[in-house]
Amino acid sequence: MRIIVVGAGLLGLTTAYFLRLHGADVEVIERQSGPALETSFANGGMLHASQANPWNEPGVFWQALRMLGREDAALLIRPRALPRMLGWSWNFLRNSSLPRYLANVEKNARLADYSLTVLAEHLAPLALPFERADHGTLKIYRTAAELDTATRFAERCRAFDVRYEALNAQAVARLEPALAPVAHELSGGIHFPDDVSGDAQRFCRALAEHCAAIGVTFDYERLASQVVVNGGAVGGVMVDGEMRRADGVVLAAASYTPALAASAGLKVPVQPVKGYSLTLPMADWQCKPHVPVIDEHYHAAVCPLGQQLRVAGTAEFAGFDTRLTESRIRNLYDLLARIYPDESRRVERRNCVEWTGLRPMSPDGVGIMGRTAVRGLYLNTGHGHLGWTMAPGAGKLVADDIMRERTELPSADYALARFDA
């Protein structure tokens, strides 16, 4: 069976790998010159089942209103992005009702838990070098109310096998001594010991190399422009004006998937949500952090990746604009200074890598995977802020769906057809 995967980011590569293990003849088409040069390039580095909550939690509408027009807001909506987002936004708000939100948390938590199992059982044996660390995730809070709400949410997620430990401010500083200078500002923290961290781009590069070694073909610097459909079944993909025939096609082109899927008559509700990151050397830091930290108050994440620190955060609806906006970058340096005030004074901007990427976001905060109404056409996109976390599990799920027709999680929960209801 010949399958074309469009996109060599996290989701395309894990899908290609598991398809190959099933014996498929796999070709990956990628417009960039190598793997993971778009959204999977410099993300927050955390594989965290503890963060399974979609962003549209109950009350998100009022939160978004309060943030409107603020350049330093965690969620920024640029007016130019609004016209193309109207239907999607309505769906996003509809999914912020408590019952829908909780149902979506459950789908994400189950996929995240499965994904970490797939990482451990199927990918860890490959010993891919990607600065993997197993210190869990530490979430910190600055008010008693934030800590209380988060502890109740963590307790709810225990039902999906997400273990946690609530910590007071002193215990936070014991677990991560680099936080000692701000411990007096904290109401406490929650440690999720089962979360993992690692460099997504290095993972992708190593996995792509391994895939090539086991027979996956990679065609870089090629643009897929159209899915070809004959009589309700996929026939192949147009690549740089040339027809590539295939028995199956997987679209894993992140926020660009909807345009490709539209050529096959499908409406895929995915919008780009811009995020930023900084990568900085920690060589001269006196107290190097080792635990990935999420500051829930300031919506920032800091993740050690070997000798470097990744700072990530903020969300911006700005269409497909991938320019670095100075105010948003500055915002990240400010957030770093709030978490590590002493060490951040050593940071020299000229030594930092500043980056922005587009999270492919579905309106219910759950990835869109698997079969579609077109026979032989499959999706693996829309994982939003959780694409690194979900990639191992989502890749296996989609490959199993294609090759075995039996999946270890209910594929209907993640299929495009759920938006028809």
Which part of the chain contacts ligand FAD (CB under 6 A), choosing from 52-60, 76-84, 384-392, 404-412? 384-392
Q: How big, in percent rounded to 5, are the helix, strand and coil portions of the chain?
A: 40, 25, 35
Give Cα 69 distance to the centre of its chain.
Answer: 26
Say which residue the tokens 């009022």 belong to. Answer: 62
When asked if residue 29 is in the footprint of ligand FAD (CB under 6 A), the reply is yes
Treating both helix axes as pointing N-terminal to C-terminal, what angle do 86-94 and 60-67 enclose, rounded to 10 degrees?
130
CA distances from 367 to 101, 134, 395 (A): 14, 25, 11
Instruction: List the x/- string, 41-80, binding to ligand FAD by CB under 6 A.
Output: --xxxxx---------------------------------
Q: Does 339 bind ligand FAD (CB under 6 A)?
A: no
User: Residue length, the chain?
Assistant: 421
Report how far residue 30's alpha carbon sits from residue 19's, in angstroms, rounded to the nearest whole number. Answer: 17
- Rank residues 338 and 346 by Cβ distance to ligand FAD and give the closer one: 338
- Shortest gap between Cβ of 7 and ligand FAD (angstroms)? 3
Q: Which of 371/385 has CB closer to ligand FAD?
A: 385
Residue count, binding to ligand FAD (CB under 6 A): 43
- Span near ligand FAD by CB under 6 A; candidates 7-15, 72-80, 180-188, 371-379: 7-15
Tokens of 338: 């709030």
Q: Does 15 interact with ligand FAD (rule: CB under 6 A)?
A: no
Q: In the complex with ligand FAD, which residue's Cβ is closer, 236 or 275?
A: 275
Residues 233-262 that bind ligand FAD (CB under 6 A): 252-254, 256, 260
Q: Say whether residue 227 binds ligand FAD (CB under 6 A).
A: no
Tell me the window of 40-48, 228-236, 319-327, 404-412 that interacts with ligand FAD (CB under 6 A). Answer: 40-48
Per-residue DSSP letter, 261:
H
Q: Nearest to ligand FAD by Cβ — which residue?
A: 387
Contact 391, 397 (CB under 8 A): no
Quickly list DSSP for 143-209: SHHHHHHHHHHHHHHGGGT---EEE-HHHHHHH-GGGGGGGGG-SEEEEETT-EE--HHHHHHHHHH
Compute the least distance from the CB of residue 186 to ligand FAD, in Å.
Answer: 21
Residue list 192-211, contact with ligand FAD (CB under 6 A): none
> Rounded to an integer, what distance in angstroms lies between the CA atom of residue 311 and that of residue 336?
7
- 396 binding ligand FAD? (CB under 6 A): no
Name 95's Cβ contacts closer than 8 Å, sequence gap at least 6: 54, 56, 101, 104, 363, 364, 365
Q: In angstroms, what is the minimal distance from the CB of 168 to ligand FAD?
A: 26
Task: Confirm or reject binding of residue 360 to ligand FAD (CB under 6 A).
Answer: yes
The residue ranges that bind ligand FAD (CB under 6 A) are 6-12, 29-32, 36-40, 43-47, 223-224, 252-254, 256, 260, 275-277, 312, 357, 359-360, 381, 383-389
